[in-house]
Structure 1
Amino acid sequence: MSYTAAVDHLYALGQELAPSTPSTPRRKFDLAHMRVLAAALGDPQTAFPSVLIAGTNGKGSTAATLSSILTAAGYRTGLYTSPHLVRVNERIQIDGQQIPDEDFARLYFQVDETARHLVESGDLPYPPSFFEVLTAVGFLYFAGESETQSEKTPVDIVILEVGLGGRLDATNIVEPLLSILTDIALDHQDYLGNTIAEITREKAGILRPNGTLITLPQHPEANQAIGEAAATLNLRAINAAGYIPTNVPGHTAGVPQHPADTAGQEARSLPANRYIVTLDGETLEVNSPLPGHHQQRNIALAIAAAAELRNSKGYKLAKITPESNQIGYNITNAQIEAGIRNTQWPGRLELFTFPEGPQLLLDVAHNPAGAWTLRAAIAQLPDTRPRTLLFSCLRDKDLKEMGQILFPLFDASSTDPERRRDHIVFAPIDNPRAAHIEDLLAAAHALDIPAHAAPHLAAAFAQARAVTPPEGLIIATGSVYLVGEIRRLAGEL
């Protein structure tokens, strides 16, 4: 069957986090169901080594950076991320190339048919979810099930981004070489818990007895929960803080700026992440295309993971072919530098410049922690520049707190004369979890901040471009779904 049919069939499954209704109650996550599906498919997740990454924010950036490093080192590297911005194929990649449409369609219907037989036989109580199906498709593709290959050859390693939580996430049926925990904050409380400690314990479900954890010091509650899990599992914990630079006034992350850096910053509006760290006694120059001070933490995690993967002890897992990774991965400092430099991860402080009109900055800040990160980036922009916020979010996010963080930066009624040419435009997004326009407007009005709404996303983008002066900046944020659609519209200009 066709790729279009596969995608339509996939979306008909519905999203795991869609609001519960009497006819479609909220799905209960159970790893046993994912294991049953994987077993019926031949347990493809045992065909390759993997790294598993969980966290609230930064896990996608960390995964993309680490994947790029391994590709630069010459390894066929799988990357599994979620959600996607424009096309579902973005979630499943090898060496930066998305899964081809024909492979996606063939593997999707293979998984779907297998699942149907399992439900009919009573081995599964109900069909697998959207994310479970996609995860199974990814596992098959990484195991070598591709029409473009003459023989079935698994990739050398796969970097897996956890979709939600960790303990019960569909990706968590692998036996990872490393487990990475990025920054943890409040999000998805309905599923993961109401405190950072509870959420951390769910995400720490990706850790393994006697395994290896890579993380960074963060919120005290998260630190304590991670420490307790580490002690219980007798695992080895690696602190990546040594790969975060010390900032020096007048420099970019501790490195004197060059004229080329300054020119690039003017064009990009945000300082580049260019600095030097030390790895195994040697200098390593970081020059990342991902702007924002927060990315230094994600880059540090990727560097620490690359350094651990190249350890001299190597890796030999019972469930993976005996000859795999017995001497570790051969990754040089130069290859780490190249991988960081070549990282591609769109929608994260991504700047679009057009021949005419204002620039466009896209960022998928979709929770309060992400909003604070975006606010810190906005603080690095010239105050004199007029700007427009193009915003929407999902209704299960903390709209009130996100509004309190971001909306005052675009308050045209402020006493600050620099803000009088600013605007806020709200846009509806096509998602069953989307916040209602009335709620978005109410959040702005509660802060006495003027805001406008558009009937649909394309109209909102057009309105934002119309009200923003040519020298101004449009900042689109609040939801991955909004950023993905705006990115598609921007590509058509």
Structure 2
Amino acid sequence: MSYISAVDHLYALGHELAPTLSPTATPTPRRKFDLAHMRALMAALGDPQKSFPSVLIAGTNGKGSTAATLSSILTTAGYRTALYTSPHLIRVNERIQIDGTEIPDEDFARLYFQVDDAANRLVAAGTLPHHPSFFEVLTALAFVYYAEQKIDIAVLEVGLGGRLDATNIVDPLLSIITDIALDHQDYLGNTIAEITREKAGILRPNGILITLPQHPEANQAIGEAAATLNLTAISAAPYIPPTPQNRVSHLSDSSTVAEVGESASEPLPHNHYTLTLDNQPLEINSPLHGQHQQRNIALAIAAAIALRNQVSYKSPTTSNQNGYNITNAAIEAGIRNTRWPGRLELLGGTPPILLDVAHNPAGAWSLRAAIAQLPSNQPRTLIFSCLRDKSLKEMTQILFPLFDSTSGEPERIHDHILLAPIDNPRASSVEDLLAAAHALDIPAHAAPHMAAALAQARAVTPANGLIIATGSVYLVGEIRHLALHPEANPA
């Protein structure tokens, strides 16, 4: 079977976060997840997840950046490193990588139908009550691929929550919890404490936890979980610089140059600072922008240090009994070589485009902090959309006032807000997006699709201005693809 057939078959499974529709178009209840189902599927596939050690990362924001940074460090140190993330920006293969290279199409197709066949046999036998979900199938596919490729270690980003997430069938060397905020309340709970308890489901008895001080409710819930599991908790706080860093670099230092083939001064401060590790200076020079990334970098450093100290973890699945040989130089180079597009990523052009996957209020606040560091007299155009299960009202309250052309601020009179639907069944409607802007009495205009929104943004934004695209991973992926591949733009 072809790669296209595999991808079409995968997407036909539907998205597990949305209600499914019966043949009569009546919504059916959302699926209830059970790790026993995932374990049954993996057992039928030979339990590939037991053949490699792993690091498991849960949280609301920063999971992907932390995972990408740690994966880059391990690859730079010479280890064959798998990286599993979600969602993807453009192609589903992005989720399954080894040493920065996506799974090839032919391997994806072959393994997809291998997993699908195993699932169908289990359903026919009554072992599974229904076919595994989109994410469960992808996770199983990834684990089979990683086992086949004989990786040294896998860095796994949890998809949703932690306790019942498909990735949580591994026995991780380390469990990392990034910053926690309100998101996916329908699944995880209505308070920070409830959500944290779900994410703390990735912790193991006598295991290792790496995290940072954060919201008091999250701190308390993590502490309570740690106490009952007798685990070792490691704080990454020593690896956060003591004062904000404001050094500005140029696009020639950034990963985006190779992608857009242009150079220009970057509008945002660069995360370039020096820490002390083992009484030696550790130079941090990350291509990931925004002060919030310093927390994610700190978590990756703390994880790398824990991995190189063999006494801090057990590894029954590998012959590595002396810890991972991760030097300070490898940590520096790995951070410097991290690739994680769509996170305050600047694409050159006239005008340039700033992409950021701020998909919840916490992410919107981080983006707002970054926008505050832009030149105040620079005209800006916002392209915004989000999924309907996100906090549209709160996100627009955070971001839209920064682009209000009627605010009376002279610097903002040339600003614009453009709204368009995301190509996703969970997308907010244009009517809902416009209503959110009207509720704030802020001008906004609608476009029929993202290609039209990008074309309109380019038309109304001066050459010295900036287009900012945000609100969803799916929006950023679509705008990024259109910007880097103009031939795909039908507008």
| TM-score, normalised with respect to structure 2 | 0.94
Instruction: Give 1:297's aligned amino acid.
Output: R
DSSP-derived class of the 2:325 partner: coil
Cα deviation code 1:81-105 (max 9, x no counterpart): 0000000000000000000000000
User: Structure 1, residues 426-448: CA drift from partner, whole Å, max 9, x if none?
Assistant: 01111111001001000000000
CA distance in 2, matches of 1:8, 1:24: 22
Tell me the residue number matched to 2:144.
140
CA contact (8 A) 1:314 1:327 kept: no
Alignment counterpart, residue 413 of structure 1, candidates 389, 406, 411 = 406
| Paired positions, count | 474
Partner of 1:297: 295
Whole-Å separation in 1 of the counterparts to 2:155 and 2:434: 40
Aligned partners of 1:314 and 1:326 also within 8 Å: no
| Structure 1: 5+ residue stretches without partners | 145-152
Offset at residue 19 of structure 1 (A): 3.3
For 1:396-475, what aligned pairs fall within 5 Å after superposition? 396-475=389-468
Inter-partner Cα distance in structure 1 for 2:60 and 2:313 = 28
Partner of 2:489: none
Query: Matches of 1:23 and 1:238 in 2, distance apart?
Result: 45
Q: Which of 320, 324, 342 pairs up with 1:329?
A: 324
- SS, match of residue 313 in structure 1: helix
Task: Report if aligned partners of 2:419, 2:446 keep a CA contact under 8 Å in 1.
Answer: yes
Q: C-alpha displacement at 1:247, in angstroms?
A: 1.6
Q: Which position in structure 2 is the counterpart of 1:131?
A: 135
> What's the counterpart of residue 49 of structure 1?
53
Aligned to 1:4: 4
> Pairwise mapping of residues 357-368 of structure 1 onto structure 2 (< 5 A)?
357-368=350-361
1:155 to 135, 151, 175: 151
Which residue of the partner structure matches residue 483 of structure 1? Answer: 476
Q: Which residue of 2 aligns with 1:149?
A: none
Cα offset, 1:381, TM superposition: 0.2
1:143 match: secondary structure: helix
* 1:266 shift after superposition: 6.6
For residue 485 of structure 1, give the secondary structure of its aligned residue in structure 2: helix
Partner residue of 2:77 out of 43, 49, 73: 73
CA contact (8 A) 1:314 1:329 kept: no
Identical columns (%): 76
- Rate the CA distance shift 1:258–1:204 in 2: closer, same or farther, 3 A: closer
Q: Deviations over 1:196-221 (max 9, x none)?
A: 00000000000000000000000000
Would the aligned equivalents of 2:248 and 2:270 in 1 still touch at CA under 8 Å?
no
Q: 2:311 is paired with a residue of what secondary structure?
A: coil
- 2:248–2:266: 8 Å Cα contact kept in structure 1? no
AA aligned to 1:174 is: V
- Residue among 191, 197, 210 paired with 1:195: 191
What SS does the corresponding residue of 1:247 show, helix, strand or coil? coil
Distance 2:451 2:248 in 1: 40
Residue 291 of structure 2 aligns with an amino acid whose one-letter code is H
* Structure 1 residue identity aligned to 2:300: A
Return the offset for 1:259: 8.0
1:267 to 247, 265, 268: 265
> What is aligned with 2:362?
369
Unmatched segments (≥5 aa) in structure 2: 255-262, 487-491
Who is 1:148 aligned against? none
Q: Which position in structure 2 is the counterpart of 1:212? A: 208
Residue among 343, 348, 351 paired with 1:353: 348
CA separation of 1:16 and 1:259: change in aligned 2, threshold 3 A: closer
* Alignment equivalent of 1:338, drawn from 313, 333, 336: 333
**Backbone CA RMSD of aligned residues:** 1.6
Residue 317 of structure 1 deviates from its aligned partner by 3.5
Residue 258 of structure 1 deviates from its aligned partner by: 8.5
Of 307, 310, 321, 1:309 maps to 307
Which position in structure 2 is the counterpart of 1:147?
Answer: none
Q: Does 1:82 align with 2:86?
A: yes
Partner amino acid for 1:276?
T
Deviation at 1:313, TM superposition (A): 2.4
